[in-house]
Chain A
Amino acid sequence: MTKDIVLRSEHISRILDTEAMPVTLVKEASVELRTHEFTAIKGPSGSGKSSLLYLLGLLDRPTAGKIFIDDKDITGFTDKKLADIRLEQMGFVFQFHFLLPEFTSLENVMIPMQRLGKFNETQIKKSASEKLEKLGLIDHMHKLPSQLSGGQRQRVAVARALANNPRMIFADEPTGNLDTESSKTVQDILKQLAHDDGCAVVAVTHDPEFAKNCDRIITIIDGRVVA
């Protein structure tokens, strides 16, 4: 099992301009994300874990430094191109499930596939159902997020992140809002995605137990990667 570098950041910084004064969220972080690897970003509250994740997930732009995907510098890409990369290669799971409340579990998983537009409706439905089945949610496909438990919602969120078979999965405190049992389930799923499916999974956590379960830990303090 070779671990290839999919995404690499070179001295990326993110300075936020606030009314009072500029705040440094991330300082010269150089990080690598590899296939088949479950990486944790760990650090105290406000250390810049999530900010780093958003930069790596192309949801935010660094104020300095560069980001490479497959050794290609994508730092100056337009918002459109970055959105396309997110759509095709990345999946996101957030602390608060962030499902679209008006859509059923199945529809939530189908939406990224429909946006990608590579398959027809029947294929999309089949693939989305399979993903939900894999996460043990086959009986809850037609339920709205409000009809699901916290753990179930988060699993739907994971299924949605997997919709377009991404190479990278970014999870922002995915178990932060879950009970122990659900938390364990979600962790296991993410680990499995890395090890079995070859995804580069990176998760922000402040839970030491969660971090221990990962292959590699990036520790960040005051915006700086320290280990």
Chain B
Amino acid sequence: MRLLIFIALKHLLARKRQSLVSLMGIILGVAFFLAISSLMQGSERDFIKRLVDNSPHITISDEYRTPRIQPAEKLYPDAMVAVSNVKPLTEERGIRGFEKVLGTLKSINGLQASPVLVGQGIITYAGQEKGITLNGMIPEEIDKVSTIREYMVEGSLEKLFGNPDGILIGINLAKDLSLELNDTMTIVSPSGDIKRFKIVGIFKTGRGGYDRGQGFANLKRVQTLLDRPNRINSILVKLDNPQQALDLSKNIEKQIGYKSESWQEQSADLMNTLSIRNKIMYTVVSAVLIVAAFGIYNVISTVVMEKHRDIAILKSIGFQSDDIRRIFLIQGVLLGVAGNMIGLPIGMAMMNALGNIKFKPPGSSDVVFMPVSWGWEQFAIAAAFAMIASILAAYLPARKGAKLMPVDVLRGGS
């Protein structure tokens, strides 16, 4: 084998320029593969992190995934029962026995849960009317299940504590209504009840709709406004490990019956988009390596063509067809190994350089670093892909070389 490697190396070194060009192809392929895939993975992780951080990991709501079974269907399980125009009972909506549900949830390790009453209200201020989604929460528990504290630009979350008529609103709403910190405003409930709230904090998440339409207030106050004393219609859950949300939400739903949605389920369309984006990007990046493989194919098939005479000599000396095939395959392997050895560190340097680029996303005031993320898997994929491409590219000319009959070349003279 040493002899075959020696011969392969000599062949490559005899055509330094072409070998170098095809080597550059692999190097660039590997480096760009790493750089782009790290950007892709980084942006994906960044996106998911934002998604995970800014939304509850599990949301339990006062709804059922499937409509309730009608008594007639229960009574005649084997019969064909058709019930139409069923009007649900007029009942006070909300999660029944939520204290017990909360107790069960809180017994699970690594889980934080807090009750919320979400309802609609209309702000009437200076002759304007604006809709708002009120999140009635226990102020001391907001931190457990929400990241709103990170987005406060004026006032603070603490001001809600012990301040029953306090409210946190978004900056867009404040601007629309020319409201400022410590101003008071009136909110009307759908049933016509009116309550006054004092703005104790203004937040800015950067999401326009959220900053215009959401408000956080004391649970008791919202319950009074919406005339639903001691009721909640949602439980927000945060987990230490967000990846467990999907399985856990299914278990919770099975136990308590209420609809329990994980962040993955709520963002299924976004996750699908991410997965499609990944596939497209990996295809594009792989194309770079495929182009590089053509470079290798080109060099090795040229070597095979130019080395017809040498192949004939080696075969006449007593080299087997397998030896000849190996000589050219080794050339592919050598180019692949060298390409990886140079390409991987260059790729790593490119990833580092990309990770140090600061930029200001449009519409944001914060300067952020490019999201870059890498793991050994990317290095393994890049290296394996480059090796496979190199070997495959070398295989065809190698096979052709091995098939060559020495006598055909010798007959042709020099």
Contacts and interface: CB of A to CB of B under 8 A. Distances in A.
B411 interface: yes
Contacts of B312: 98
B3 A111 contact: yes
A148 interface: no
29 contacts: A51-B411, A54-B410, A54-B411, A57-B316, A59-B315, A59-B406, A59-B407, A60-B405, A80-B321, A83-B320, A84-B318, A85-B318, A86-B316, A87-B318, A87-B319, A92-B317, A94-B410, A95-B413, A98-B312, A98-B313, A100-B7, A102-B10, A102-B14, A111-B3, A112-B318, A115-B3, A115-B317, A116-B318, A172-B410
B316 A59 contact: yes
A87 B410 contact: no
Residue of B313, B323, B405 with most chain A CB atoms under a 10 A cut-off = B313
A188 interface: no
A101 B218 CA distance: 89
Interface in B358-414: 405-407, 410-411, 413-414
A86 B407 CA distance: 14
Contacts of B240: none
A79 interface: yes
Interface string A51-67: 10010010110000000
Contact of B318 (A98, A100, A102, A115): A115
B341 interface: no
Contacts of A84: 318
Interface of B: 2-3, 7, 10-11, 13-14, 309-310, 312-321, 323, 405-407, 410-411, 413-414
Which 8 A-B pairs give the minimum distances between C-beta atoms? A87-B318, A102-B10, A60-B407, A86-B318, A114-B3, A96-B414, A102-B14, A112-B317
Contact of A83 (B319, B413, B414): B319
Contacts of A100: 7, 10, 310, 313-314
B407 A83 contact: no
Contacts of A102: 10-11, 13-14
A88 interface: yes
A201 to B, nearest CB: 16
B321 to A, nearest CB: 6
B299 to A, nearest CB: 15
Given A59-B406, A111-B7, 10 more contacts: A57-B316, A59-B315, A80-B320, A86-B316, A88-B318, A100-B7, A101-B14, A102-B13, A115-B3, A115-B319
A159 to B, nearest CB: 13
Given A100-B310, A102-B13, A50 B411 contact: yes
A180 to B, nearest CB: 21
Nearest to B318: A87
Contacts of A101: 14, 310
Contacts of A103: 10
A172 B319 CA distance: 19
Interface size class of A (residues with CB under 8 A): 20 to 34
Contacts of A85: 318
A98 B406 CA distance: 12
Contacts of B13: 102
A101 B42 CA distance: 51
B320 A54 contact: no
Contacts of B11: 102
A54 B407 contact: yes
Nearest to A177: B414
A96 B315 contact: no
A197 to B, nearest CB: 19
A84 B318 CA distance: 6
A100 B413 CA distance: 15
A85 B316 CA distance: 10
B100 to A, nearest CB: 80
A8 B400 CA distance: 33
Contacts of A86: 316-318
A219 B395 CA distance: 44
Given A59-B407, A100-B310, A102-B13, A87 B317 contact: yes
Interface in A70-115: 79-80, 83-88, 90, 92, 94-96, 98-103, 111-112, 114-115
B328 to A, nearest CB: 15
A160 B410 CA distance: 17
Contacts of A57: 316
A83 B410 contact: no
Contact of A79 (B3, B313, B317, B320): B320
B396 to A, nearest CB: 21
Nearest to A58: B316
A125 B318 CA distance: 19
A105 to B, nearest CB: 14
B162 to A, nearest CB: 88
Interface in A148-198: 160, 172
B320 A50 contact: no
Contacts of A116: 318
B318 A83 contact: yes
A98 B312 CA distance: 9
Contacts of A54: 407, 410-411
A98 B320 CA distance: 18
A137 B245 CA distance: 80
